Amino acid sequence: MRPILMKGHERPLTFLKYNRDGDLLFSCAKDHTPTVWFADNGERLGTYRGHNGAVWCCDVSRDSMMLITGSADQSAKLWNVQTGAQLFTFNFDSPARAVDFAVGDKLAVITTDPFMGLPSAIHVKHIARDPSEQTGESVLTIKGPQGRINRAVWGPLNKTIISAGEDAVVRIWDSETGKLLKESDKETGHKKTITSLTKSADSSHFLTGSLDKSAKLWDIRSLTLIKTYVTERPVNAVAMSPLLDHVVLGGGQDASAVTTTDHRAGKFEAKFFDKVLQEEIGGVKGHFGPINALAFNPDGKSFSSGGEDGYVRLHHFDPDYFHIKI
Amino acid sequence: MAMNRPGYSNPAQPSKLRWGELEEDDGEDLDFLLPPRQVIGPDENGIKKVIEYKFNDEGNKVKITTTTRVRKLAKARLSKRAVERRSWAKFGDAVHVDVGSRLTMVSTEEILLERPRAPGTKEETKVAGDSLAQLGKGGAVLMVCRTCGKKGDHWTSRCPYKDLAPQPESFVDKPVSSETNATSGMTKGAYVPPSLRAGAERPAGGGSDMRRRNEENSVRVTNLSEDTREPDLHELFRTFGAVSRVYVAIDQKTGMSRGFGFVNFVNKEDAERAIAKLNGYGYDNLILRVEWATPRTN
């Protein structure tokens, strides 16, 4: 395959997200402007200007009309996807990290980093159908975990919120009361910071990637560990194919060590694993630096990766990919 | 459908008729004399027939029937909203982009999903494509101990059963070059590594011992196909008896097989049987040639 290279960001990529139809790709980077691209040919559709810091995460509503972004400028913003206009700004006292729309797009979860003595927190916000009625009040605020919360997503039927972060523990919270329901086991769980978390297409299980050089597959309800994928590099990003039983891990050594390492030895490939057999299927090379973000097109026929090198690489699979046998 | 007929010249340029202009300048059009174009189908199998009529070079009427099969592209479906979004106006920084900025490019490099091992090969040949991992493992491609015959566990030099071997030896695993040299025999003018040159300091009998060892029940296999690897060869010869060493000559520059290799058997009888059986054996479209590695004196 010949990947499409998209050079719209001047700083390392942080997050990638496809909309539900798979025709738009949203990219967030440490520069201040999230960007939307056409996912088939990589043409840039627009940028969302207004943030004043690195943008860590984004999510798009099911109808692809609204975008939410979380940024290090201590705010999360709602955007009109079509025009790039700012609809609302949620202001916090510390940098916003993860954002996720609930099913139905009526709620959103936003996490904030520990900052200036403030602990990290998970905020649940009500999202108004009409942006003019939007308020900044939190429906629920959960405090508790130590360290940064790198990802927070909604569980099945919006009943739970799943969070993971620097303390290497996956937690499931009640989204109504804010009570801690489940915690991942210290023995079987990750040993280092969890950098990424992604749900399967049917939301029955989810995958976490960690700097302990492994990725783990969990049941979303019982939080039982299903599979572990071991690699030789810290995992920065994970993705799951919605079409095949494939898992993609992206990573590489620390950004600080990039210039001192040969790119061939740096393990900057996106590694494909068989979801069931936990065996490596192959690697896709290309980035000059660690991969920070991975996303699968909802149709399962293409995926994109964003790297520390500031490039988004959009890969449309060759036909033989769909017939790979171990 | 303008055709050129020989002997006809354009009145506008009677003197010199340039071939490049023939197509466009042919003013006379007799197409109206022809029956109209007919399109039949596509039928349920997607077969479409197009019947056209035209004049050929001699001015004769020709009927051309083109049969094509129409297939729908694999699920090229797009939701209505996605089609609508396609026509959305650019916004933000995307509005005024210089043509030369080339934000989106197609990679000039063909990127493949690199398999960790060739499809179809067994687990034992698994080598991670990472150079770091390889360094750590010391190249566990085919680690066969020649002393005890154990595979993938240790190198010959580190064999824990070394002391139990019939002849205690001072042999240290040499790089491939010295091995090939030793096995293929010293031809005149060929490079001889310093350690093997006459007068070179070496433990008494060390070099010759090594040579003898490599010659022992060594079978030369030639006319191998380029993608034959050591595990393949091992697989092939294993059926005849215990194999102590398999080696396929690899071109240092290209990394491709040079088409020959050596197999050492523990037992001479096994080697004999292998030669009898596999010489002239068709393997990978090629006919193998299997013989004793060195001309036997006995």
Q: Domain for residue B297, yes or no? A: no
* C-beta atoms surrounding A208 within 10 Å: 26
Closest Cβ opposite residue A82 in set B75, B88, B110: B88
A164-170 own/partner pairs: CB under 8 Å, 24+ apart: A164/A194, A164/A197, A164/A208, A165/A111, A165/A120, A165/A193, A165/A194, A166/A193, A166/A194, A167/A193, A168/A192, A168/A193, A168/A194, A168/A210, A168/A212, A169/A145, A170/A194, A170/A197, A170/A208, A170/A218, A170/A223
Verify whether the Cβ–Cβ distance B104 to A64 is below 8 Å. no
- Chain A contact set for B93 (CB, 8 A): 8, 33, 35, 44, 46-47, 49
For residue B87, report the phi and psi dihedrals to the nearest 5 degrees: -95, 10
For residue A317, report the phi and psi dihedrals to the nearest 5 degrees: -65, 145
What's the topology of domain A4-323? Methylamine Dehydrogenase; Chain H (2.130.10)
For the domain that residue B255 is a member of, what is the CATH number?
3.30.70.330
Nearest residue of chain B to residue A23 (CA atoms): B82
Closest Cβ opposite residue B111 in set A2, A63, A265: A2
Verify whether the Cβ–Cβ distance A5 to B115 is below 8 Å. no
Mean pLDDT across A296-301: 93
Nearest residue of chain A to residue B80 (CA atoms): A21
Residue B169 has a pLDDT of 41
Average pLDDT taken over every residue of chain A: 91
B65 and B128 housed in the same domain = no
Q: Domain for residue B96, yes or no? A: no
Verify whether the Cβ–Cβ distance B111 to A318 is below 8 Å. no
- Chain B contact set for A4 (CB, 8 A): 104-107
Among B35, B55, B73, where does a domain finish? Answer: B73
Element (H, E) at B274: helix B268-278
Residue B297 has a pLDDT of 56
Tens of pLDDT, residues A225-234: 999 999 888 8
- Answer whether B93 touches A (CB < 8 Å): yes
Q: Is the pTM of this model over 0.95?
A: no
Residue B146: C-alpha distances to residues A209, B216, B235, B246, B293 (Å): 43, 11, 17, 10, 17
| Total structural domains within chain B | 2
Rounded to 5 degrees, what angle do the CA atoms B88, B89, B94 make?
120
Q: Domain for residue B263, yes or no? A: yes
Verify whether the Cβ–Cβ distance A49 to B93 is below 8 Å. yes
Q: Domain for residue B181, yes or no? A: yes
The answer to whether residue A121 scores a pLDDT higher than 80 is yes
Verify whether the Cβ–Cβ distance A1 to B111 is below 8 Å. yes
Any idea which residue has 């694999």 for tokens? B74
Under the banding of pLDDT at 50, 70 and 90, the label for residue B241 is confident
- Chain A contact set for B127 (CB, 8 A): none
Verify whether the Cβ–Cβ distance B113 to A21 is below 8 Å. no
Under the banding of pLDDT at 50, 70 and 90, the label for residue B98 is low
Among B73, B102, B133, where does a domain finish? Answer: B73
Verify whether the Cβ–Cβ distance A46 to B91 is below 8 Å. yes
Supply the range of the domain harboring residue B58: 1-73
Shortest Cα–Cα distance, A114 to chain B (Å)? 32
- Indicate the domain borders of chain A: 4-323
Instruction: Give the C-alpha separation, A180 to A160, whole Å.
Output: 10
Residue A180: C-alpha distances to residues A159, A187, A259 (Å): 12, 19, 42
Shortest Cα–Cα distance, B118 to chain A (Å)? 10
Residue A178 has a pLDDT of 92
Tens of pLDDT, residues B148-202: 766 666 777 777 666 665 544 444 444 444 444 444 444 556 777 776 666 555 4
Instruction: Give the C-alpha separation, A249 to B205, whole Å.
Output: 54
Q: Domain for residue B182, yes or no? A: yes
Flag whether the ipTM exceeds 0.95. Answer: no
B59 and B186 housed in the same domain = no
Shortest Cα–Cα distance, B122 to chain A (Å)? 10
Residue ranges with strand state E in chain B:
38-40, 47-55, 61-69, 104-106, 218-222, 243-250, 257-265, 282-283, 286-287, 289-292
Under the banding of pLDDT at 50, 70 and 90, the label for residue B251 is confident
Instruction: Give the C-alpha separation, B25 to B211, whole Å.
Output: 82
Residue B23 has a pLDDT of 55
Shortest Cα–Cα distance, B102 to chain A (Å)? 8
- Chain B contact set for A3 (CB, 8 A): 106-107, 111
Nearest residue of chain A to residue B94 (CA atoms): A46
Verify whether the Cβ–Cβ distance A232 to B82 is below 8 Å. no
User: What is the per-residue DSSP string for B38-88?
Assistant: EEE---TT-EEEEEEEEE-TTS-EEEEEEEEE----TT----HHHHHHHTP
B43 and B173 housed in the same domain = no
Instruction: Give the C-alpha separation, A264 to A208, whole Å.
Output: 26
- Answer whether B87 touches A (CB < 8 Å): no
Verify whether the Cβ–Cβ distance A84 to B78 is below 8 Å. no
Nearest residue of chain A to residue B91 (CA atoms): A46
Using DSSP's 3-state secondary structure scheme, residue B180 falls into: helix
- Interface mutation target, options B73, B75, B80, B91, chain A, most CBs of A under 10 Å: B91
Mean pLDDT across A179-197: 92
The answer to whether residue A117 scores a pLDDT higher than 60 is yes
B284 and B161 housed in the same domain = yes
- Answer whether B78 touches A (CB < 8 Å): yes
Pick from B222, B244, B248: nearest CA to B233: B248
Question: What contacts A87, CB < 8 A, 6 or more positions away?
Answer: A66, A77, A78, A79, A80, A131, A134
Q: Domain for residue B156, yes or no? A: yes
Residue A67 has a pLDDT of 95
- Chain B contact set for A28 (CB, 8 A): none
Verify whether the Cβ–Cβ distance A37 to B114 is below 8 Å. no
B202 and B138 housed in the same domain = yes
Tens of pLDDT, residues A13-34: 999 999 999 999 999 999 999 9
Segment 23-42 of chain B within 8 Å of chain A by CB: none
- Answer whether B254 touches A (CB < 8 Å): no
Using DSSP's 3-state secondary structure scheme, residue B169 falls into: coil
Segment 133-192 of chain B within 8 Å of chain A by CB: 133
Q: Domain for residue B137, yes or no? A: yes
Amino acid at A84: G
Shortest Cα–Cα distance, A275 to chain B (Å)? 16
Residue B213 has a pLDDT of 53
Q: Domain for residue B93, yes or no? A: no
Percent of chain A with pLDDT over 70: 96
Tens of pLDDT, residues A233-256: 889 999 999 999 999 999 877 656
- Answer whether B74 touches A (CB < 8 Å): no
Any idea which residue has 């297409």 for tokens? A201
User: Tokens standing for A185?
Assistant: 């086991």
Residue B233: C-alpha distances to residues B121, B123, B239, B264, B286 (Å): 12, 16, 11, 11, 14
